[in-house]
Structure 1
Amino acid sequence: MPSSNDQVLDIHGKKYNRWLMFILLLVGTFAGMLMQTSLGTAIPTLMKAFDINLSTAQQATTWFLLANGIVVPLSAYLMTRTSTKWLLFTAYALLLGGMTITYLTPEDSSHWIMFLGGRILAAIAVGITMPLMQVIAVNVFPENKRALALGLGGLVVGMAPAIGPTLSGWILDKDHVIFGINIVSSWRTIFVIPMIVIALVLLLTPFVMKDVIPNKKIKLDVLSLVLSSIGFGLFLWGFTNVAMDGWSSMNSVILPIIAGTIFIILFVLRQLRLKEPFLDVRVFKVRNFTITALIIILVTMAMYGVEMMLPTYLQNVHGLSPLDSGLTLLAGALMMGLISPIAGILYNKVGVRNLTLVGLTILAIGTIPFVFLSATTPTIFITVLYAIRMAGIALTMMPLTTSAMNALPIEETTHGTAANNTVRQLASSVVVALLTSITQNIINTNSPAKAMKDTNPMEFASKTIDASMDGFRVSFAVGLGFAVVGLIITIFFLRAKKDNAGGAK
């Protein structure tokens, strides 16, 4: 519970309660992060409603992550230049506007671009609020409370995307009546609860949020902004197009990835020459920051290796309803919520290396059986395995983030957070596009001829399921590979010593 010790001063010398402010920030970020994976169980519903295929429907997630990857590098400049309170207010307004646009999209393939537009706007807002939450935690909490605060942040960052599919599945299962309010079974309803929460947070922000990150009037380097936007945008766009156009497409895949890489290199070189860089990439010269950031990337990729494909597998192969597939993943979300704060407390006792070793070992062991799933694997078995995986992720994600931030001086946390989240969002976008394309291509390659549907429908159905399983197993195997590589790097390169970089007192 907040105490008098939590009454501290903002940058203007005014008192505020840091826990009250941080709790409101957690609620707002949770509602925003729900949007990242809430459409996972709704993919088949969206495919039917908009008359689109799997690759197109997955754009609802890939373009969200793409927009995140573009805007996160800008967050360091915005946090340094702009009032904390009003930056949050603007981000919540954008988030509410983006969800509203998506909610109002007509059900027709020709309007799918409008749906994506709303998703992109919401992603821009989340790309601001997520790193801002981490920087605020580092700035307002002393080091002995920082791990707990970031552990609660890990609950939001990890649990919200995990619980999103369950909430969506419950909504799409059937109409519900709660307290006399009719909740319609529609993909639109998925956005209603987060919209209500964000609207309330938006109203409270001017009164509860305070300016806690020191500001200074730094000039926006327009060239850096252009290089960043074009570079990350083209790079991520190229990977997003892989699912639809394949790796051989020169115009929509190969050229954008190559051009994006060139622009990113130019962006990095410019940052190294600027006295006040747009995004200080020099933070990667700090060894422990770089190693922990790399492991975070691998954990993120391992998480998406299963999380993004599992709802589709459960619905298309097991024939589960959106609700049942969501409930299958609920235990994992609850496990994430339970373990994240505990991991924050354990961080100060056992250190990041030991936590990461245990977490990645659990993650790898929990992923191995997914590689051998079949169309008849019991659902309860999948539920237990998924919960085990999420426990491993919870034990690694926020302790690693805390270690990365502690490795930097307090004045570099805005750039460190932005850099860390940038590479993580790049990894997320790449792995989602990669896994979607691999799964779709394997399914297409191994699917039976359409003529068999008329001549031997039973065999056609059997071979179609086999083709789907081939694709899903490869996706799960890739996720396992990322976990194993992360474990190897932790064993040989992650130091047990904890860096102390100061912080709030």
Structure 2
Amino acid sequence: MTEHTDMNGKPINRFAMMALLMVGSFLIILMQTSLGTALPTLMTAFNVDSAQVQWLTTIFLMVNGIMVPVSAFLTTRIPTKYLYLSALTVYTIGTGIAWLTPTSAFWMLMVARALQAMAAGIVMPLMQVVALTLFGQKSRGKALGMVGLVIGMAPAIGPTLSGWILDQKHHVFGMTWGGDWRSIFGLVLPLAIIVLLLSTVFFRNVLETKKVALDIRSLVESTVGFGLVLFGSAMVSNYGWSNFTWVIAPIIVGVLVIAEFARHQLHMEKPFLDVSVFKNKQFALTSALVSLTFIAMIGVEMVLPIYMQEVRGLSAFHSGLTLLPGAFMIGLLSPVAGTFYDKYGAKRLATFGFATILTGTLPFYFLTATTPTLYITCLYTVRMMGVAVTMMPLTSSAMGALRIDQTAQGTAVNNTTRQIAASLGTAILASVMQSQINNNLPSASLKGQDPLAYGAKALNASLDGFHASFLLAAGFALLALILSLFMHKGKVEPKAEKEN
């Protein structure tokens, strides 16, 4: 195909295709964080405890992480249009089930979340590969800048949007809407249906497909390995790192299975997931930096709203508003960063970006119970500016280090690494926070003897936990800043396909 035709040589409207891809992907990825602020409401509605309701997040992370490696096979085997339509259909069905779930059937909501996560695991890598194909190698940075707008903004807007929906009823076109958890799903359901219908008309097959046989052993090993690692890291928030049954054992077994999976892939003529791309030092380095960027973004997005609600006493909606300017910064700068990458490469942007993230994170260590909300919002916006100018240029550089025929596999590997790193990084930040709080909490006896003193010490214990978590996040940013100095200068151009 040429830059403006599909696999059959027919002309395509690449801007309509890209718009539908971005909107559909935005709706799907939005669900990754949208239920965070709704969990207390769901606990009451379904009469479940905090451990049970947390599975709505855990199941999404697990299924999403399992599907990302599978996406490389699906992208190679299934025509682009039908793969995207299938992902949208699965997401629409999952969202419809969630919207209709009776409060006596919590398991149905779990199934709905799993279906949504399946779609997310397919769409995130697919969006990158299709964007690169539609806009060609010369506009690689611009294309992935648009992808970064979606991947960065959707998770950042999720908590604010769900908080706004839950906070109160809204009157739209004479209809009363919002104020309950169903409206979170009810908002995106009609939009998903519209995107699905339009995609049947405007979407085209733009990626080459091959009749590749599915290696069952690889599928089982990747599912079990990545699933166990993600499960163990998700259980940290409930049981802590010292729990062998739910945390240590799953992670150890998962890592061993992944090691065997990687060994098997290296000996396959046509691997299920081509881990040999890590032999490329530039790809390995930039993929590690992408993972650190995601930890910096997702980890603090998780910790900061907890501080705003528990220490500052803000509502879910107002704590979400604190993050909103940062989300807009992602949307504003991601396309700009892509254009700069096309001109200057990733190293300057990465060094500046990680320095900015570090600058915006360190002051969080000094937050108090009375720190002005505006100050926190400004710091978070500075952090997200660093994320915006870092994430997609690094991804562009990683893909540019590979041969053109490795793009789909490289994208899947890059996304898998990023997904696991984000999950583990978030678990580490949360566990450090909770550990510090538990270690510094006053004895229960003080509560009866002097309630005021107990309250003051408990507040300080919470602040100690948040400070430790933010300091660790700054440490991740510092590590990334140092590693970015070893990057290749200038724009990395992809090599030609390997000759048969």
Give the alignment's TM-score, normalised by structure 1: 0.93
| Cα pair 1:439 1:472 within 8 Å, conserved | yes
Asked whether the equivalents of residues 138 and 503 of structure 1 are also in contact (C-alpha less than 8 Å), the reply is no
Shifted more, 238-247 versus 378-387: the winner is 238-247
Higher relative contact order (CA 8 A, sep 6+): 1
2-side partners of 1:246 and 1:327: how far apart? Answer: 30
Deviation readout 1:422-462 (Å, 9 max, x if unpaired)? 00001111122233333333333433344544443333332
Would you say 1:134 and 2:128 are equivalent positions? yes
Q: 1:191 and 1:355 mapped to 2: Cα distance?
A: 37
Candidates 389, 392, 409, aligned match of 1:395: 389
Per the TM alignment, residue 481 of structure 1 is displaced from its structure 2 partner at its CA by 1.0
Aligned residue in 2 for 1:494:
487
Partner of 2:158, secondary structure, is helix
**Alpha-carbon displacement from aligned partner over 1:84-119 (angstroms, at most 9, x marks no partner):** 1111111111112222333344447xx544433322
Counterpart in the other structure of 2:29 = 33
Question: Would you say the 8 A contact 1:44–1:312 is kept in 2?
Answer: no
Q: Distance in 2 between matches of 1:56 and 1:365?
A: 37
Q: Which residue of 1 aligns with 2:344?
A: 350
Aligned 8 A contact 1:175 1:183 in 2: yes
Q: Is the 8 A contact 1:405 1:417 kept in 2?
A: yes
Distance in 2 of aligned mates of 1:51 and 1:63:
19
Offset of residue 181 of structure 1: 2.2
Task: Please say if residues 34 and 162 of structure 2, whose CA atoms lie closer than 8 Å, have aligned partners that are also in contact.
Answer: yes
Deviates more, 1:92-101 or 1:324-333: 92-101
Counterpart AA for 1:349: K
* Aligned twin of 2:86: 90
Identity %: 48
Distance change (3 Å), C-alpha of 1:377 and 1:188 = same
Structure 1 residue 260: deviation in Å?
Answer: 0.8
C-alpha separation in 2, matches of 1:132 and 1:402: 15
Give the aligned residue type for 1:68. Answer: N
Which of the residues 324, 329, 333 maps onto 1:330?
A: 324
Q: 1:126 Cα deviation (Å)?
A: 0.5
- Matching of residue 63 in structure 1 with residue 56 in structure 2: no
**Counterpart residue identity of residue 19, structure 1:** F
Matches within 5 A, 1:23-422: 23-50=19-46, 57-107=53-103, 111-422=105-416
Give deviations 1:115-173, integer Å, cap 9, x for gaps.
Answer: 33322221111010010000001122122222112101100000111111221121122
Give the Å deviation of 1:261. Answer: 1.0
Is the 8 Å Cα contact of residues 40 and 311 (structure 1) preserved in structure 2? no
In the alignment, which of 468, 474, 480 is matched to residue 480 of structure 1? 474
Question: Partner of 1:9: helix, strand, or coil?
Answer: coil
User: Distance in 2 between the 1:71 and 1:240 partners?
Assistant: 17
> Could you give the per-residue CA deviations for residues 40-59 of structure 1, whole angstroms, max 9, x where no partner exists?
33344345545556565544
C-alpha distance in 2, partners of 1:355/1:300? 16
TM-aligned CA deviation for residue 13 of structure 1: 1.8
Decide which moves more: 253-262 or 443-452.
Answer: 443-452
Unaligned runs of 5+ in 2: none
Which letter does structure 1 place at the counterpart of 2:397?
S
Deviations 1:353-400 (A, max 9, x none): 000111110000000011121111110011000100000000000101
Q: Structure 2 length normalisation: TM-score? A: 0.94
Mark the CA change 1:455 to 1:115 in structure 2 (over 3 Å): closer, same or farther.
farther
**Which of residues 460, 466, 486 in structure 2 aligns to 1:466?**
460
**Which of 455-464 and 13-22 deviates more?**
455-464
SS in 2 for 1:177: strand
Assess, with a 3 A threshold, how the Cα gap between structure 1 residues 314 and 24 changes in structure 2: closer, same or farther: same
Distance 2:443 2:47 in 1: 22
The separation in 1 between residues aligned to 2:433 and 2:39, in whole angstroms, is 15
Distance 1:476 1:53 in 2: 28
**Matching residue's letter, 2:488:** R
In structure 2, distance between residues paired with 1:237 and 1:114: 20
Equivalent residues of 1:303, 1:479 under 8 A apart: no
Q: What code does the residue aligned with 1:494 have?
A: M
Aligned residues: 496
**1:254 to 1:140, Cα distance in 2 relative to 1, 3 A:** same
Q: What letter matches 1:457 in structure 2?
A: P
Structure 1's 184 and 454: CA in aligned 2 closer, same or farther, altered over 3 A? Answer: farther
Give the deviation of 1:202 after TM superposition: 1.3
In 2, Cα distance between the equivalents of 1:293 and 1:337? 22
**Is the CA contact (8 Å cut-off) linking 1:356 and 1:400 kept in structure 2?**
yes
What is the rounded CA distance, in whole Å, between the counterparts of 1:369 and 1:457 in structure 2?
31
Q: What is the DSSP-based 3-state SS (H/G/I as helix, E as strand, rest coil) of the residue aligned with 1:176?
A: strand
- Name the CA distance, whole Å, in 2 between partners of 1:96 and 1:503: 38
Q: Kindly provide the amino acid, as one letter, of the partner of residue 230 in structure 1.
A: V
- When residues 17 and 427 of structure 1 are mapped into structure 2, their CA distance, relative to the original with a 3 A threshold, is same
Aligned to 1:22: 18
Secondary structure of the corresponding residue to residue 4 of structure 2: strand
Structure 1 Cα separation of the partners of residues 34 and 18 of structure 2: 24
Deviations 1:11-63 (A, max 9, x none): 12221111110110000001111111122333443455455565655443343
Amino acid at match of 1:12: N
The answer (yes or no) to whether the contact 2:353–2:386 under 8 Å persists in 1 is yes
- Displacement, 1:300? 0.9
Q: What is the one-letter code of the residue matched to 1:158?
A: G
Conserved? CA contact 1:65–1:428, under 8 Å:
no
Shift of 1:223: 0.5
